[in-house]
Chain A
Amino acid sequence: MKDEALLKEPFPVVFRRWMTSAGGITILLTIVVAIIAAIDAGPFIIVNTVVTGGMWALLSLGLSLVFGVMNIPNFAHGEFFLIGSLTAYFTFNPLRLYLKENPSPFLSAIAPLLGIFLAFFVGALLGVILEKLIFSPLRKRSRDQWVMNSFLLTVGISVVIINSVQLTWGANFKGIPNYWNVDPLDFLGVNLSVDRLAAFLLAVVTLIVFWYFMRRTQTGRAVRAVAQDETGALMVGINLNYILSLTMALSAGLAAMAGASLLFIFPAYPTAGLKPLYVAWYVVILVGLGNVSAAVVGGFIVALLQTLTSFYVGTGWEDVIPTAVIIIMLIFKPSGLFGSEVKGIQER
């Protein structure tokens, strides 16, 4: 590691080059816009952006990962979000009622986390089941037109999950008033509820753990290897089936975790996954298909875009304006703001 530093370009050079790339300009622009909006409308813009942005990042990252590694354009990704919020609801709600009868400060503090982590595992389990039960058989049968076939499979899965949830638990909203029943904190003159703060911190911690896993562990490296060259991965002894299941589990788990963490904003109901699905796809196309780290940044950018749209233009327009933005982007830079990491966005 001694000669490492000598070979690297000086930091200012790298920084300047990066700042003039499309990605750098986007980030800079986002920050500037956020600050201007915060001055104009109030700091709540930034608070809202950051809180939902963190969860959108978890969601988009999973979607991007599955597309990059498994080549599956997952249209059931929102359903993992839904399963997560359902799991959290059914874990946390009984606990909440129990705590009303038997108050316990420790359990009150820990109960929400219990639901959220359980959601991660239930989501991950569902991901593995889907991989083993549905994608793996299709992969064995034929890999012709894989992207379109798997896309249709996920559409079918989505329909089945949404309507099974409706059949089982009905169409009513299952929400909670809050996770932590404490007074909101005062942050930059904004009332910041502990739930929101926790959601943000949870997202940050998860992102760091995820980053460490992907960059610094052999298994994480293997996941990236499969995304870049499947044959090469086989040749160095990586068990493809294991990595594919793991990827699906991670992606589904993170989405479920996002759903669980945001239960206090987005209650669980059969089609609750539609909106997160849209957001995740939006982010992934915007930043570049399969570009996992850019998806994290994209989560925050899109959260800002949503916050601004609903504040300045009004609710109900949040589907229209982002679509216009993405059309403009596709005209000028179809590979996405940060560039796609999938081999060739042009049709082969």
Chain B
Amino acid sequence: MENNAQAALSDGATGNGRFTALLNATGISPTGLTMIIILLVLPFIPPFNQEHILRWLVSAALLGAQAIAFDFTTGYINVVNFGFAAFLGVGAYTSGLLAVNLGLSPWVGIFVGAIPAALIGFLTGLLTLRLRGIFAAVMAWFVGLALLGLTRNLVDLTRGPMGLSTPTLLNTSSNRPYFYIILAMMLITYIVLRKIIGSRYGLAFRAIGQNMDAARASGINPTYYRVFNFTVQCLFAGWLGGFYAHYFGILTPQLMLTARTVEVLAIAYIGGRGSLWGGAAVAFPFIFLIEALRSNLTELPGLHLVIYGLLLVLVMIFYPGGFAAFYKRAVAWVKGLRDR
């Protein structure tokens, strides 16, 4: 998509320059825009206008948004936040609890919930990111398990495994408006993170991700940038958690399980490390495939997770660039055909 954006820029000099320039500023390529437009009209086209399929679309967009945030850290500074789901859970529970106990509007709560998630992320990062990446991964995992334990045990506050009923964002039984909300959130996540990647911060991230020593030698303070990156990721995780809370209307500690993190991790990697958009692109077909599998093969629970795991392993060994690299190669191939 980056390539495309650059191609679009050079085209823009001759054609409708202002529009492409705007598009370029958001980091969305023409192909990406086409996909977004398709997604915008999809909820009206049968069979996608059925409520249960709309639900899949919402899940896919939510997963895609998470994958974008996840890749912002793994793909650029090479740190795996293995407690990602828990940070999402912090946002969800904060927003949910504020709405239930203080009557705070979910629309505000979504944003407020991101703050504690970012704060916990910041502290975890501060503690571990001066050490090797594996410390951050393991500690984020421990912190995640501790948060999971807390939500399970503080029954008076969170109602524990019984689940916390939260008010929904909208007073409607239709999934369609929610789809537009989460799609917007996904796009905002992408545009903001793409902006950061495009700034000098992004340069620093890449430098750190590729060679810590060289980065340090050129005056970059790795710990500062890594903590910044990690905190931003947790901020977005918390924000998306807010949507989770006020879409499903019920929160259980289950949402903080490591298995949830693994799901996001797998999608982000299969989508393509360091691309940001790859996870979002892969999330839609994946959710459909997996939901279809799940509803048709109820006697084989867990089969979809086996597929996740196998794909993750295969991508890691044989095609480390994931879908994004495949796409890049395919585009280059098509271009090659055209130019011939």
Contact = CB atoms under 8 A, between A and B. Distances in A.
Would A and B touch once assembled, by the CB under 8 A criterion? Answer: yes
Interface of A: 73, 134, 137-138, 141-142, 145, 147-149, 151-153, 155-160, 162-164, 166-167, 171, 270, 274, 278, 281-282, 285, 289, 316-320, 322-324, 326-327, 330-331, 334, 344-348
A316 B222 contact: no
A149 to B, nearest CB: 6
B41 interface: no
Interface string B245-266: 0000000000000110010011
Sort chain B's interface into a size bin: 35 or more
Nearest to A274: B258
Given A137-B317, A159-B306, A164-B306, 20 more contacts: A73-B137, A134-B313, A152-B80, A153-B316, A155-B262, A159-B266, A159-B309, A163-B303, A163-B305, A167-B303, A282-B142, A316-B152, A320-B149, A326-B142, A327-B143, A330-B127, A347-B130, A347-B212, A347-B222, A348-B132
Nearest to B145: A319
Contacts of B66: none
A323 B138 contact: no
A91 B193 CA distance: 53
A158 B309 contact: yes
A159 B127 contact: no
A330 B79 CA distance: 18
A252 to B, nearest CB: 17
A316 B266 contact: no
Given A278-B145, A348-B212, A320 B300 contact: no
Interface of B: 74, 78-80, 127-128, 130-135, 137-139, 141-143, 145-146, 148-150, 152-153, 212-213, 222, 258-259, 262, 265-266, 269, 300-303, 305-306, 308-310, 312-313, 316-318, 320
Contact of A331 (B127, B153, B308): B127
A326 B128 CA distance: 11
Given A156-B312, A331-B127, A345 B306 contact: no
Contacts of B265: 152, 155
Contacts of A158: 309
A339 B113 CA distance: 38
B302 A151 contact: no
Contacts of A164: 306
A324 B80 contact: no
Contact of A345 (B135, B259, B317, B318): B135
Contacts of A327: 127, 139, 143
Contact of A330 (B139, B141, B310): B139
A138 B317 contact: yes
Nearest to B306: A163
The dominant DSSP class at the A interface is: helix
B127 A346 contact: no
Contacts of B302: 162-163, 166-167, 270
A145 B78 contact: yes
Contacts of A346: 130-132
Contacts of A316: 149, 152-153
7 contacts: A134-B317, A152-B80, A152-B316, A155-B309, A156-B312, A322-B142, A324-B146
A160 B82 CA distance: 18
B149 A334 contact: no
B149 A317 contact: yes
Contact of B312 (A138, A148, A152, A166): A152
Given A156-B266, A157-B313, A320-B153, A73 B134 contact: yes
A243 to B, nearest CB: 21
B76 to A, nearest CB: 12
Nearest to B314: A156
A162 B74 CA distance: 24
Nearest to B124: A327
A272 to B, nearest CB: 14
A142 B320 CA distance: 10
Contacts of A278: 142, 145
B148 A156 contact: no
A151 B80 contact: yes
Nearest to A150: B316
Contact of A148 (B78, B148, B305, B318): B78
Contacts of B306: 159-160, 163-164, 167
Nearest to B148: A319
A159 B142 contact: no
Contacts of A148: 74, 78-80, 133-134
A285 B148 CA distance: 20
Contacts of A162: 302, 305
Given A160-B310, A167-B303, A330-B127, A323 B146 contact: yes
A167 B137 contact: no
Contacts of B309: 155-160, 163
Contacts of B141: 281
A159 B308 contact: yes
B306 to A, nearest CB: 5
Nearest to B123: A327
B143 A323 contact: yes
A166 B301 contact: yes
A167 B222 CA distance: 44
Nearest to B313: A156
Contact of B269 (A73, A152, A282): A152
B243 to A, nearest CB: 25
A138 B213 CA distance: 24
The 8 closest A-B pairs by CB, nearest first: A159-B309, A160-B309, A163-B302, A156-B312, A323-B146, A319-B149, A156-B313, A163-B305
